[in-house]
Chains A and B, each alone.
Chain A
Amino acid sequence: AQSVTQLGSHVSVSEGALVLLRCNYSSSVPPYLFWYVQYPNQGLQLLLKYTTGATLVKGINGFEAEFKKSETSFHLTKPSAHMSDAAEYFCAVSYSGGYQKVTFGTGTKLQVIP
């Protein structure tokens, strides 16, 4: 079964500091990987996704993530945190070939300190 592990349910960074949210997945086949952001009382918004090709994926709002097969990781980064980045972030995985549902991680709440 596919799974996703997000390290750290809460992460705090200072405004202007690097944001690093960690995600590791389990896989025996090539994965599709996603990062979603959720603001309070709202649905999930897709930040970025990896399917095939370039391993460094750029998304909206200045976020990017790098697929590292050897480490089974897909960490989310942003060079400089902004107050508006405070939200909950979900990593998710599905698989190519046949139908596999998307499995979400348990989420990481990002706090940005002024």
Chain B
Amino acid sequence: DAMVIQNPRYQVTQFGKPVTLSCSQTLNHNVMYWYQQKSSQAPKLLFHYYDKDFNNEADTPDNFQSRRPNTSFCFLDIRSPGLGDAAMYLCATSRGRLDTQYFGPGTRLTVL
């Protein structure tokens, strides 16, 4: 089945220690998104890629970076995680920007 895969499902890191979250897709979609979802809150868009074109949301902290080496993979890098970065990180894909977004299962990040 075509799907959006996120690894790992659970990630524990230390305060200030860089961490990378991974997302891959078999849908061959053009657009890949990263959302941050804190407890009992709505998902908040951090940035998205349309093909290789990177689009950052205005209020996304510089601490968050992303890479998309090819169509299938997209990475979220948190350079110096703080306690406030503990959250569920959701990856989503869509065929085009106006098309339905399909979500992965998420990675829950804990910062110690």
Interface residues of A (CB under 8 A from B): 9, 32, 34, 36, 41-46, 49, 90, 94, 96, 99-102, 104-107
List chain B positions with a Cβ less than 8 A from chain A. Answer: 4, 6, 9, 40-43, 45, 48, 57, 88, 90, 92, 97-98, 100-106, 108
* Most chain A beta-carbon contacts within 10 A, residue among B88, B92, B98, B106: B98
Report whether A43 and B90 are in contact in the complex, using a CB–CB cutoff of 8 Å: yes
- Count of inter-chain pairs, beta carbons less than 8 A: 48
> What is the minimal beta-carbon distance from B1 to any residue of chain A, in angstroms?
13
Considering the chains assembled together, what is the distance between the CA atoms of A76 and B59 in angstroms? 31
Choose from A36, A96, A105 the contact partner of B98 (Cβ within 8 Å).
A96
CB-CB under 8 A from B90, the residues of chain A are 43-44
With a cutoff of 8 Å between Cβ atoms, the chain B residues found around residue A105 in the complex are 42
Known contacts A41-B106, A43-B106, A105-B42; is-contact A99 B100 (Cβ 8 Å): no
Residue of A nearest to B88 (CB): A41
